[in-house]
Structure 1
Amino acid sequence: MIAALFQYQFLQNAVIASILASIVCGVIGVIIVEKKLIMMSGGIAHTSYGGVGLGYLLGFEPIFGALFISILAALGIGYIKRKGGTRSDVVIGLFWSLGMALGIMFIAMMPGYPPDLTSYLFGNILSVTRSDLYFMACFTLIIVLVVAVLFNYWKAYLFDDEFASIIGIKTGFLEYLLFVLIAISVVVLIRVVGIILVLALFTAPTAIAGLMAKSLKLRMVLSIIIGGLFCFLGLWISYALNVASGASIVILSSVGYLLAYCASSIRIGKKIKG
């Protein structure tokens, strides 16, 4: 694959996409796991399918439709969650189902043969185009800059949002901003692992990093490195065996976390016995 990397543009695009995806997962994934927003992230991801279907129906780029619907869903879920009118898991479940249903309906309303949505559902990193990379790079930069500029505020918010509110930090603004960043991150990752599998890439590298470090900044750095490793290995397996890239990356991520968890449990058990 190394030799082919210098010959084929699509492999070069895939490698760059892997790097961008790992940065997004490392930065946002840590916050998602720390604030226990994994299921909410899944709800936003699945809602984006409605935007993909809308893009195909109206004739514009589906990824922009996914971005628009994802942000609307993130703000809607966040608003209802903060108002406390109903349980957040109920709201997430409804948005989750609604987004998928809308996507199916919009595709069914299209004239002619329906498009192949496999790459949006399960990802296909080998099909990433140069325009996809520009899109991913732009939003990855936005995510990194927002988190970096407000890093101390994020630390206070993650540690104790009530305390952060008392000392004057606008936690409501941070929470809505976080939901929007999650929506953007989902769209960045769609082309890599797809809507269905995006949760694994958000959580597995971050969970492994959490077993290795306590510092927020160090966990983000480790998560980026681990996520990049999974993406590269998944890409290699996908290219060598001609299998789905998204599935390869997710399987590696899941197995990697299970091995790391077992190793951590054994190490802790030895310390207790010692």
Structure 2
Amino acid sequence: MGEWLELSFVQNAFAASLLAGVLCGIVGTYVVANRIAYLAGGVAHAAYGGVGLAFYLKIPPTLGILGFTTVAAFIMGVVSLRERHRADTAISVLWAFGMALGVLLVDLTPGYGADLMSYLFGSILTVSRSSLTAMAILTLVVIPWTVLLHNELAAVSYDESFARVRGLPVSALYLSMVGLMALTVVVLVQVVGLILVIALLTIAPYIAEKRSRSLRGMMGRAVVYNIFFGLAGLSLSLALNVTSGAAIICVAAAGYFVSVVMEALKRRGR
């Protein structure tokens, strides 16, 4: 492993794991606390439409993903805000439409055969300096946003009615969470893939929620768990020469199952 760490692309991959762990730990805490994991999955999969749009229009993939994902996230956010009990249907439609549109647009692109499967698991071992910079910038946006609006975001996450009584702009705060979630997807989908984005946004925060008494505690634990999953999975992938994204997901899933078993044993012990 020492020899691997001397390679620049491995150093970039570990840096990406750290940044992804912090980003998804913070944003994922709000995803889990607000019970919008399905929305996060819908936004991530809708990003496929942006990939296809970018190839069809011959523009940088990031621009296509950013435009399409932002619009899809806004629509999903508004629907889930106004009709929480029926939002899953609209999200399912946009989820399927985004993926199908992406495939069709790539098929219609003359002389191009894109490997859309690469966007499922990404390629963290080939992360570029520009991608690391984008991740760092978004992290520097997310942290102050979380610090400045912590009380307001906690109120919206745990008691929306109380937040409205206090006169908080619930819709604006909720959509800001959805917006940052969409930006996280945009920045990370080409680095770690949409499957890993969903895993990092949900698994660690869910485990952390069971062991925390406050939103801050949950967020701190989620960040630590995500960083551990990322570094452990990346180390495993290098040692076994397997796909890094899949290895990280398997480590995170193992952490989830261990958490479930421990919780069950704890309840039985009572």
Aligned-pair CA distance for 1:192: 4.2
* Distance of aligned partners of 1:38 and 1:251 in 2 relative to their CA distance in 1, 3 Å threshold: same
Note if contact 2:237-2:243 (Cα within 8 Å) is conserved in structure 1.
Answer: yes
Moved more, 52-61 or 128-137: 52-61
Trace 1:226-245 onto structure 2 (pairs within 5 A): 226-245=225-244
Q: SS where residue 87 of structure 1 aligns?
A: helix
Query: 1:67 and 2:66 equivalent?
Result: yes
Residue in 2 aligned with 1:90?
89
Note if contact 1:47-1:96 (Cα within 8 Å) is conserved in structure 2.
Answer: yes
* Distance of aligned partners of 1:205 and 1:2 in 2 relative to their CA distance in 1, 3 Å threshold: farther
Distance 1:82 1:252 in 2: 33
TM-score by length of 1: 0.93
Residue in 2 aligned with 1:25?
24
Q: Which amino acid aligns with 2:236?
A: I
Aligned-pair CA distance for 1:179: 1.1
Residue in 2 aligned with 1:103?
102
| Residue ranges of structure 2 left out of the alignment (5+ in a row) | none
Note if contact 1:18-1:232 (Cα within 8 Å) is conserved in structure 2.
Answer: yes
Distance 2:225 2:63 in 1: 29
Trace 1:188-203 onto structure 2 (pairs within 5 A): 188-203=187-202
Distance 1:126 1:118 in 2: 16
Q: Percent of counterpart pairs with the same letter?
A: 38
Moved more, 17-26 or 208-217: 208-217
Aligned length: 270
Residue in 2 aligned with 1:261?
260
Residue in 2 aligned with 1:4?
4
Note if contact 1:18-1:192 (Cα within 8 Å) is conserved in structure 2.
Answer: no
Aligned-pair CA distance for 1:72: 0.6
Q: Which amino acid aligns with 1:5?
A: L
Aligned-pair CA distance for 1:203: 1.2
Distance 2:256 2:188 in 1: 19
Distance 1:145 1:175 in 2: 17
Aligned-pair CA distance for 1:112: 1.3
Q: SS where residue 89 of structure 2 aligns?
A: helix
TM-score by length of 2: 0.94
